[in-house]
Amino acid sequence: MSLPDLNIDHIKCKVDTGARTSALHAFFVEPLVENGIQRVRFGIRPLQNNPSVERICHADVLDERVVADSGGHRERRFVIATTIEVSGASFSAEVTLTDRETMRFRMLLGRTALCDRFHVDPARSYLTGRPRLGTA
């Protein structure tokens, strides 16, 4: 999967139908205002096993929401919109920014992004290809 608006060519992502909104790993998040527009600056380490690869990104803020993770912990997160490319499809989706450093996947693709685009087979994995060795 890739996030072209954020200059991310490859990121390991998990389809998560239990999550309403998609979530993206950000190791820092800084709100700012540019030309009167609320924006956010954030850092991404897209490759799970290679923390030396970092991208510093900027995006307009769509919203701030309190999101509960799978453990029930509530956190206020910034929400951005970005283009997602997966399996030949390209679409815009809302994504929350959160620290996923200790998680197995740098991104979760939630059910709102999946709706009317994909069918999920919970018995299958890596249908768009396995991660390249040493990169994800």
Q: CA–CA distance from 77 to each of 36, 41, 70, 101 (Å)?
A: 21, 13, 15, 16
Q: Which domain holds residue 72?
A: 4-114
The 10s digit of each residue's pLDDT in 77-129 is 999 999 999 888 899 999 999 998 888 889 999 888 776 666 666 666 666 66
Structure tokens at 70: 């799978």
| Residue 119 resides in a domain | no
Note whether 113 and 93 are within 8 A (CB).
Answer: yes
| Residue 31 resides in a domain | yes
* 3 state DSSP class of 6: helix
**Rounded Cα–Cα distance for residues 19 and 3 (Å):** 19
| Residue 58 resides in a domain | yes
**Rounded Cα–Cα distance for residues 12 and 2 (Å):** 9
| Residue 135 resides in a domain | no
| Residue 100 resides in a domain | yes
Q: Which CATH number does the domain housing residue 25 bear?
A: 2.40.70.10
| Residue 93 resides in a domain | yes
| Residue 128 resides in a domain | no
How crowded is residue 76: how many other Cβ atoms within 10 Å of its Cβ?
A: 10
The count of structural domains within the chain is 1
What is the pTM assigned to this prediction?
A: 0.84
| Residue 61 resides in a domain | yes
The 10s digit of each residue's pLDDT in 10-32 is 898 888 877 888 999 999 999 99
